[in-house]
């Protein structure tokens, strides 16, 4: 299946609440390696994960000693059976609190350590919120369909987080507000750096982007990224700019005092005004180099009502754009 087709599946997941995309261990390892020092003596909460199956639980329990974790709490949703795929057939869920094993890094929790939650394990339930309050960092891949609520809850509780999501959520009011305030940013890996997601059997398996791996059905996407509020090195790397501004290549929008820059790599080095850039710019965003001012979706995103009305060039609407300004532009020659 072509990546476009799998992207449609992810969008479908969003719309019909079918959130069955399970994270591959290698993708968790590839991202987590950039944050090791932030986990020392911390309590980690994976609140959309069956501890018996989740690769997030697997990663943190196997790396418990190396990361110097204090505790790992893992809750699942409407699940009793140890099954990677959450069938949501029961109204009760289970959880596990893991505090490591002395003398070895192979987790040795027993079935008796698996405890019953009082309710269904919904991350918004009071008992899960109590567990959230005890935690320092939340790490998971939450349901796509509840992403807005999920992020809002983390922000309201001022938690550190590292979560998997879709690029499509960037212009959601709840998410964009945090991006603009530098309270949420893109992690190190995104799009094709993800090896894929494990999906249930009912997902079609055809074409090049869906495959069987270790007996599991895996699909690839190019709309996935990590969202976090934990610092990483990449976020402080300057984007190297080499183009100079000229009116022909960088036309002004019909409806904003801003120029269109259709590729992040083409951001001019010497323009001190507002520029409209693709949302993928966020993958290269260094807040010391640029300031984010708004986006062309949802006028209610913008307290001054300047942006959010679409952006037009000669009457033709452009794609989604973020409006940015270079904090230190070169002086025009």
Ligand X SMILES: C[S@@+](CC[C@H](N)C(=O)[O-])C[C@H]1O[C@@H](n2cnc3c(N)ncnc32)[C@H](O)[C@@H]1O
Interface positions with ligand X (CB under 6 A)? 19, 21-23, 48-49, 54-56, 77, 86, 121-123, 140-143, 146
Q: Smallest distance, Å, CB 282 to ligand X?
A: 21
* DSSP per position, 299-328: GGG-TTS-S-B--EETTEE-S--EEEEESS
Would you say 196 or 308 has its CB closer to ligand X?
Answer: 196
Would you say 91 or 238 has its CB closer to ligand X?
Answer: 91
Q: Smallest distance, Å, CB 59 to ligand X?
A: 11
Q: Smallest distance, Å, CB 46 to ligand X?
A: 7
Would you say 121 or 268 has its CB closer to ligand X?
Answer: 121
Would you say 77 or 161 has its CB closer to ligand X?
Answer: 77
Would you say 95 or 271 has its CB closer to ligand X?
Answer: 95
Identify the three-state secondary structure at position 283: helix
Residues with Cβ within 8 Å of residue 171, at least 6 apart in sequence: 279, 295, 297, 298, 301, 320
Q: Smallest distance, Å, CB 238 to ligand X?
A: 33
Q: 312-313 and 290-295: which strand pairing?
A: unpaired
Beta strands in 173-267 (DSSP E): 185-190, 197-199, 210-213, 216-219, 224-228, 258-260
Q: Smallest distance, Å, CB 198 to ligand X?
A: 7
Would you say 46 and 161 are in contact if contact means Cβ atoms under 8 Å apart? no
**Residue nearest to ligand X as judged by C-beta position:** 86
């Amino acid at each position: 299946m072509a990546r476009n087709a799998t992207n449609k599946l992810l969008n479908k997941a969003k719309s019909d609440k079918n959130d069955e995309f399970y994270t591959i261990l290698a993708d968790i390892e590839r991202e987590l390696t950039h944050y090791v020092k932030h986990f020392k003596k911390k309590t980690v909460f994976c609140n959309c994960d069956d501890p018996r199956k989740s690769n997030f639980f697997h990663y943190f329990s196997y790396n418990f000693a190396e990361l110097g974790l204090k505790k790992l709490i893992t809750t699942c949703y409407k699940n009793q059976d140890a099954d990677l795929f959450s069938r949501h057939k029961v109204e009760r869920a289970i959880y596990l609190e893991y505090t490591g094993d002395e003398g070895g890094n192979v987790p040795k929790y027993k079935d008796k350590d698996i405890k019953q939650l009082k309710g269904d394990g919904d991350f918004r339930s009071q008992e899960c919120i109590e567990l959230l309050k005890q935690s320092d960092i939340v790490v998971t891949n939450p349901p796509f369909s509840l992403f807005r609520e999920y992020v809002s809850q983390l922000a309201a509780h001022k938690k550190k987080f590292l979560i998997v999501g879709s690029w499509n959520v960037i212009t959601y009011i709840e998410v964009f507000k945090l991006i603009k305030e530098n309270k949420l940013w893109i992690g190190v890996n995104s799009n094709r750096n993800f090896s894929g997601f494990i999906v249930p059997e009912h997902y079609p398996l055809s074409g090049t982007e869906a495959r069987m791996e270790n007996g599991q059905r895996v699909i690839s996407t190019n709309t996935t990224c990590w969202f976090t509020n934990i610092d990483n090195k990449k976020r402080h790397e300057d984007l190297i700019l080499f183009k100079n501004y000229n009116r022909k290549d960088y036309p002004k929008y019909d409806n904003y005092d801003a120029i269109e820059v259709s590729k992040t790599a083409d951001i001019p080095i010497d323009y001190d005004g507002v520029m409209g850039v693709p949302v993928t710019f966020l993958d290269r965003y260094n807040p010391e180099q640029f300031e984010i001012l708004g986006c062309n979706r949802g006028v209610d995103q913008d307290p001054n009502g300047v942006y959010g009305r679409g952006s037009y060039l000669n009457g033709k609407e452009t794609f989604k754009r973020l409006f940015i300004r270079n904090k230190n532009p070169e002086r025009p020659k």
